Each structure stands twice: as C-alpha cells, then as structure tokens.
Amino acid sequence: MKVLWAPWRMEYILSEGEKGCFICDLAVAEPSEQNLLLFRNQNAMVLMNKYPYNNGHILVAPMAHTPDLSELTTLEYQETMELFRFSFKALEGHLKPEGFNAGLNLGKTGGAGLEEHVHFHIVPRWHGDTNFMPVISDLRVIPEAIRETYKYLRPLFDNYGEQ
C-alpha cells in the first residue's frame, strides 16, 4: 500500500470551523505567508484558500462585509472584478493550468461556506486532475504545499498596480 502524506490537512480535519468572518479579519492585516493574504487595497483583496479544492485555489473578495453583490458600491464592485480578472493571469503565469472553475456560491443552499461575506473562487484545473482518488477514497491530491504556491504568487500581486 502506498501512503499519501498531507499533514497540513490535519488542521482542517480537527478544526471546529472558522469563528467570525475570516475575510474581515484579513481586511486589517498586511499580506504575509502566515495569513495567506496575497493582496489588498481599499476595496478588495485576494487570498489563498486555506482549505483548497485544488492547487492554487484562491479567493477574491470585496472588503465590504455583505452577502449580496448588489450592496457593493460601483467602485467596490469594479475593484473586486479587476482583481478577479488579474488573478487568472497570476495563476496562469505560475501554475499554467489548462482551465479554471471560477465563480461564487451565494447563500447556504448555494454552497457558501461563509454566507455573510461574498467572495469569488478561482480553482485552476488540469486534464486528469479529477481522478479515482476523490471517488474511491474521498481524498484529493494537492501536489504543492500552499505556502510554496504563495511564494510564487505573492510577487505577481505586488506588481498588480503596474499591469
């Protein structure tokens, strides 16, 4: 039998879930490898998903704490969408995915894990990345440690304003 080591997953398995709004907590933080925040400006931010579905899974969120896109100001919406668009370029530059799953889950029934703060998911995809592991053993393989991916992506977001 082969053993697949993913020790960073124990934090998620043993956790009782996030308390409060982790996105709002990052609204006052500086980007760092510890908090996985890649970039933030006055109206929006980009962060690595702490419990990713696939390598390079990131979140793009407005700073405004709202579950409803229609409550965002035009500027908040524009800046969130600009970061959303730029994030694809950043992921393509490092990970070279063959495609993406991208979007948002609104409300509990819509699959939102954090219902009260709207956020977009971007999940890089490669041909064959969905294989027998999730089906047979309810296990997903993430080939690169999240902090390694962060180290590659962070400098790209440092140059965001120059694009």
CA-CA distances (angstroms) from residue 105 to 11, 55, 62, 110?
24, 19, 14, 5
Question: In this predicted model, what pLDDT tens digit does every residue of 1-39 receive, in sequence order?
Answer: 455 566 666 665 566 655 789 999 999 999 999 999 999
User: What's the whole-number mean pLDDT along residues 136-148?
Assistant: 65
pLDDT over 80 at 131, yes or no: no
Amino acid present at 110? G
**Domains recognised in the chain with CATH numbers:** 7-162 (3.30.428.10)
CA-CA distances (angstroms) from residue 37 to 50, 62, 99, 107, 140?
10, 13, 23, 24, 23
Among the listed residues 57, 94, 117, 119, the single catalytic one is: 119
Question: In this predicted model, what pLDDT tens digit does every residue of 64-86 receive, in sequence order?
Answer: 999 999 999 999 999 999 999 99
> Is 127 noted as a catalytic residue in this protein?
no
Question: Residue 133 CB: number of other CB atoms within 10 A?
Answer: 13
pTM: 0.81
Can you give the pLDDT at residue 162?
57
